[in-house]
Amino acid sequence: MNPRNKEIDRREFLRRLGGGAAAASAALAGCDSPNAASVGAAATEVPTDKMTYRTTPTTGDRVSLLGYGCMRWPMKKTAHGEEIDQDEVNNLVDYALAHGVNYFDTAPPYMQGLSEQSTGIALGRHPRDSYFLATKMSNQRYAGRGWSPEEQFAASVGMYRNSLKALRTDYIDYYLLHTIGGGSGMPLLKERFFDSGVLDFLLKEREAGRIRNLGFSYHGDVRVFDYMLSRHDEFKWDFVQIQLNYLDWLHAKEVNPRNTNAEYLYAELRKRGIPAVIMEPLLGGRLSNVPDYISARLKQRAPESSVASWAFRFAGTPEGILTVLSGMTYMEHLQDNIRTYSPLAPLTDEEKEFLEETARLMLQYPTIPCNDCKYCMPCPYGLDIPAILLHYNKCVNESNIPYSSQDENYRRARRAFLVGYDRSVPKLRQADRCVGCGQCNPDCPQHIDIPAQMQRIDRFVENLKQNREF
């Protein structure tokens, strides 16, 4: 099937759904409803002593299956703009620990460089042996600058020591080589970790006990993933972080040809007995904020379960999964995920097939694979790139993307999209501000051509504003 025919099929599919489940949420506020509303779980008791735990083979750590991803801490508005709401972060961390969550994952770039500090403040109020800290060598931006290996080494070691300071600790439980496989693939890997001597340094830090477990996170070129595993006997990776969810399990390459199906990544780790840490079980919220038709399908199957719980059960079911990370901004998300893993009810074979059917249905929806990681930020021209892409995806899911000015729901969808766009993204941060510099592209772990998407969305918005025929 050629791409043109595939697009026609998508349009027909979405039009068929437009008068059904999707139309039920056609209210104007639909395109900018708060993320917290996506939980939708029954307000049942949150267990304090039933968390599922997995064991790290090399160190014997008893790790909670639910891990806290510290990329999306809550924000608050101040006189100087937005900043991390430290009181709420403290509250979330306290609640997580009290309910059995003991793995916290952060990185130097998260929250525009402030996540480690905020996480360190919150966790520093608790005994150090009550939690496991994960952070990363995020030295990818030091590459490609023409620096000597010595300069690369000094900057990278400085980053490592800054992480220890920000996190208020003298050791890291789980330390990762961040986003291997991204950018140019092997050349970038060698510049960041091999030619500079950074990997040798980290191996010595593990030997000294200042790093208790050493691994890497993978995005991009599968040849880099395979290369790193081919040297497992030499480096003895304690864990590896991969993207795994029921859409990426078999269909990652259909979403983006540069991605690798999670089934393959998981199988390669299992061959070597390397535990997997799972990132993006919800694809940045895309598997909780699903199209209305998909949501109705999941709720019909399990009315008392949240949409998100299906994705978390999928990610936690396979053997060899150490922990599943979730960036829980809201207490509702944290509580729902604790319920799912306290204890985990592994998926049956029939449920796995049901989710595979769900994944195939989701592929019919032309969403943009943005996971809201914010690696593309800040934009030098002030765009709020994730907010633009997330608004677009939300309107796709709610059938508020007219594919033609002749669509029967065009007027409603047009108004919903435009009003929601102005509510979600300040006018001076919208897609029309993009100049196509491309600075954001190398940092996107999902390999989105961000300027191309900004230009496409801007054209779409202008067509809607001008009420043009298309």
Residue 437 pLDDT > 50: yes
Could you give the number of structural domains in the chain? 2
| CB 166 within 8 Å of CB 135 | no
As a whole number of angstroms, the distance between CA 114 and CA 240 comes to 24
Mean pLDDT of 382-400: 89
DSSP state of 194: I
411 and 317 in a common domain? no
Mean pLDDT of 179-195: 95
Residue 157 pLDDT > 60: yes
Name the residue range of residue 335's domain.
Answer: 35-362
- Phi first, then psi: give them for residue 218, nearest 5 degrees: -115, 130
For residue 32, how many other CB atoms are within 10 A of its CB? 19
More confident residue, 199 or 1: 199
Nearest to 213 by CA among 135, 97, 96: 135
| CB 52 within 8 Å of CB 99 | no
Residue 424 pLDDT > 70: yes
136 and 161 in a common domain? yes
Residue 244 pLDDT > 50: yes
Helices 248-255 and 262-272: crossing angle in degrees, nearest 10, is 130
92 and 237 in a common domain? yes
63 and 27 in a common domain? no
394 and 312 in a common domain? no
**Which residues 6+ apart lie within 8 Å of 211 measured at CB?**
171, 172, 175, 202, 205
List of E strands, 1-87 = 53-55, 62-64, 66-69, 75-78, 81-84
Residue 107 pLDDT > 70: yes
Residue 134 pLDDT > 80: yes
Q: What is the mean pLDDT of the chain?
A: 89
Question: Of 310, 332, 362, at which residue does a domain stop?
Answer: 362
pTM over cut 0.85:
no
Q: Between the ranges 8-12, 151-155, 465-469, where is the mean pLDDT highest?
A: 151-155
Mean pLDDT of 223-242: 98
Return the pLDDT at 43: 59
89 and 48 in a common domain? yes
Return the pLDDT at 34: 40
